[in-house]
A and B are shown apart, each in its own frame.
Chain A
């Protein structure tokens, strides 16, 4: 099978504008987009830059946009694209560092804002925590997030509102709030009770659509909203114990 790759190229330190470069690529085997990119780099153009690591859709390095679809290049088979033309672009709404390599700092910074770590209390229980399996199951959907950045990059709100935390960070917050071991006070996490936080989501569900790990971050945002309302009502109830 013969393919024409159109790959977005840009070195902000040299080029004025991004541009597409054409590469022809031929293979008889089943290849992923990542494998094809590596071969194109090795054989045709060693200046082509992109990130990769695990090649098994678990490390989150190789998120990019292929023929308009957000996905991990390692798990996208050329054949599945059903087209001899393969257009490869970096994740949008992020600064290009070089070619397909983007600056994910805004994504990581948003994550840090939700305090993405378990707020467990007290000493380590001698025989460990007791948690029912169902409770672990409930957070596992969000634990599966590999922080590849697809949802953040695809989110229409992120592209417009600079201070919006984005789907991954909010879903991660829900993962902790829902964890029976997490004792963060409501006043602490209710900081997301804003337009830059849980209420910023326009329920377009682009994040659910593009997530390569079926995390469905919007479920987490919805659940956060419900929890925010419930906690608010509780705090307003004068008869509460």
Chain B
């Protein structure tokens, strides 16, 4: 049986950071369902935060200010010790990345350039034009080549195998060879990213089904705060491709059909550079009030920045607008609308990235440490992936060096693989039934409609009912293609089950949380309620159903106060 000391699942920023910081004397491997460079991290645009103080307006910045902004932005749901940890590590992380090869854009004098971002007191977002994810992912991949990291590409992890509270390994579907097999490990890190495609409208890649989070959940690992779903204010009308917050950071305006910069009515001080939850709701409110265009979008206007600045600082979004909307933002405002973008919640881990299951760790978007609380600030997700990916690699190495072997591990893994194989055979034997894409389409539309920017009890309850119907329909799902090599149909059928689980966990969390906090806006409970709800939601798959519990938030220096921007 294939066996490693450490298995890292996911080849995006968090996964590669974990791989690079793992003890090289251990046997480490990365499993990814796509080639690592095809991971969604590559699509990050605007930048990565660190209080370097390079911007003339950022001289007084400090990691403490960064931490405060992060905590305030989180609507005080972030655990303050972990947010501080991330911000303390930020500057060194940037210099490390730079030393590894990241070509950050520069200011005069040659220092790393920094632009303003939403919810930040100072301009502290470091960037490489608007292709920051591309350059960091490629750099970390280059370093993985240098360090001879072992990759298993185009393997989908279908199951996390846990026995008696201890992680034994994973079951994989090898797409090229159509094989289903166990991989044994002393410890496993999930760095599997988000679940954006649970929603119809999302900035996320087609592959972001969240099956990693789903696999952890089915193995009994608690999920934390999944009801907090970030909707990015500015996604391109149509395909909902991300248009970076950097466009507003560079000075772009949001304008309604009356030609007004409407953010004045919602956040007069911070305007377009308020936190994402506030800006996204403002845009949707304008559209709902009839102040949008064709009842679906408003304008992001960057024309006044001028051709030179747009070409230099925002070439990527210009290319996206030309390729995917047939317009040049130098001459024409960009039609934008909010779309699902990021998951604040995820696999419940502590500041060492360790979960409740021994030997199982998680980092990056799939994990919830929690540094982002109820709303993540732009520029903090790349930082999160690199900082906590690194911590995961180090901590898991320490763990493995002290871990004992597990008896019967191989037998349990083989049993699980066989069981999975039989399941696939079951889908294959049927020659009619439900097709995955119809079910998936229904779920996505449902989540968009019922668990979006604005929520209420009735719709959330209805949503749960429909999820149950979709679950029943899933029993009839079948594989129509005759060949299982490179079968995206099979990938989708496997991942769809996770999507159902996550949709349910998001909705249960949202239904129970009778308050408004950060990205979670309840029309029937429009105020934040610290007395009852300053706590993390935990949902665990136990005895065949989701069980809900709660956990305290770590409050440090900063007492929860009303957010004003």
Contact = CB atoms under 8 A, between A and B. Distances in A.
Interface string B156-194: 000000000000000000001000000000000000000
Interface in A54-110: 54-61, 75, 97-99, 101, 104
Given A58-B42, A120-B100, A125 B105 contact: no
Given A136-B103, A143-B128, A56 B43 contact: yes
A42 B38 contact: no
Contacts of A46: 479-481, 487-489
Interface stretch (A111-119, A190-198, A217-225): A111-119
B111 A130 contact: yes
Interface in A135-168: 136-137, 139-140, 143-144, 146-147
B97 to A, nearest CB: 10
B38 A99 contact: no
Contacts of A55: 205-206, 239, 241
Given A75-B323, A128-B98, A143 B480 contact: no
Contacts of A147: 37, 138
Interface stretch (B139-147, B368-376, B539-547): B139-147
A61 B39 CA distance: 10
A126 B91 CA distance: 10
B489 A41 contact: yes
B145 A53 contact: no
Secondary structure call for the A interface: loop
A147 B128 CA distance: 18
B486 interface: yes
A128 B95 contact: yes
Interface string B203-233: 0011100000000000000000000000000
A120 B42 contact: no
B311 to A, nearest CB: 11
A54 B110 contact: no
Interface in B300-340: 312, 316, 319-320, 323-324
Residue among A48, A111, A179 with max Cβ neighbours from chain B (10 Å): A48
Interface residues of A, number: 58
B464 interface: no
Contacts of B487: 46-47, 49
Nearest to B94: A128
Nearest to B483: A47
A45 interface: yes
A181 interface: yes
Interface stretch (B129-137, B284-292, B346-354): B129-137
B96 interface: yes
B59 interface: no
B481 A47 contact: yes
A104 B176 CA distance: 13
A54 B42 contact: yes
A128 B101 contact: no
Given A132-B106, A133-B108, A139-B103, A53 B40 contact: yes
Contact of B145 (A117, A125, A128, A137): A117
B200 to A, nearest CB: 14
A199 B500 CA distance: 55
A77 B52 CA distance: 42
A179 B42 contact: no
A32 to B, nearest CB: 8
B99 interface: yes
B104 interface: yes
B107 interface: yes
B483 A11 contact: yes
A131 B206 contact: no
B129 A99 contact: no
Contacts of B242: 56
Query: Which of A48, A118, A126 has the most chain B CB within a 10 Å cutoff?
Result: A118
Given A54-B38, A58-B43, A118-B101, A45 B206 contact: no
Given A49-B486, A130-B109, A60 B38 contact: yes
A232 to B, nearest CB: 27
Contact of A133 (B39, B94, B107, B489): B107
Interface in B15-63: 34-35, 37-40, 42-43, 52
A124 B105 contact: no
A81 to B, nearest CB: 15
A59 B488 contact: no
A75 B326 CA distance: 11
Contact of A75 (B92, B107, B324): B324
Contacts of B105: 133, 136
A187 interface: no
A17 interface: no
Contacts of B40: 53-54, 59
Given A11-B483, A124-B99, A129-B99, A54 B205 contact: yes
A127 interface: yes
Given A140-B129, A179-B101, A53 B486 contact: no
A240 B558 CA distance: 63
B482 A47 contact: yes
Contacts of B480: 46
B485 interface: yes
B37 A45 contact: no
A52 interface: yes
A97 B34 contact: no
Contacts of A53: 34, 38-40, 205-207
Given A58-B134, A97-B486, A125 B206 contact: no
Contacts of B107: 133
A79 to B, nearest CB: 10
Contacts of B312: 137
Contacts of B564: none
Contacts of A140: 103, 128-129
B263 interface: no
A54 to B, nearest CB: 4
Contact of A98 (B100, B104, B436, B485): B485
A55 B487 CA distance: 19
Nearest to A57: B323
Contact of A136 (B106, B139, B482): B106
A47 B481 CA distance: 4
30 contacts: A41-B488, A42-B436, A46-B487, A47-B482, A51-B38, A53-B205, A54-B43, A55-B239, A58-B42, A59-B40, A60-B38, A61-B35, A75-B324, A97-B176, A112-B145, A115-B146, A116-B145, A117-B142, A118-B100, A124-B92, A128-B111, A129-B99, A130-B110, A130-B111, A132-B110, A133-B105, A137-B312, A143-B128, A143-B138, A147-B138
Given A14-B483, A129-B110, 6 more contacts: A13-B485, A42-B435, A53-B38, A59-B37, A97-B485, A130-B109
Closest CB pairs A-B (n = 9): A118-B101, A130-B110, A46-B481, A47-B481, A49-B486, A42-B437, A117-B142, A46-B489, A133-B106
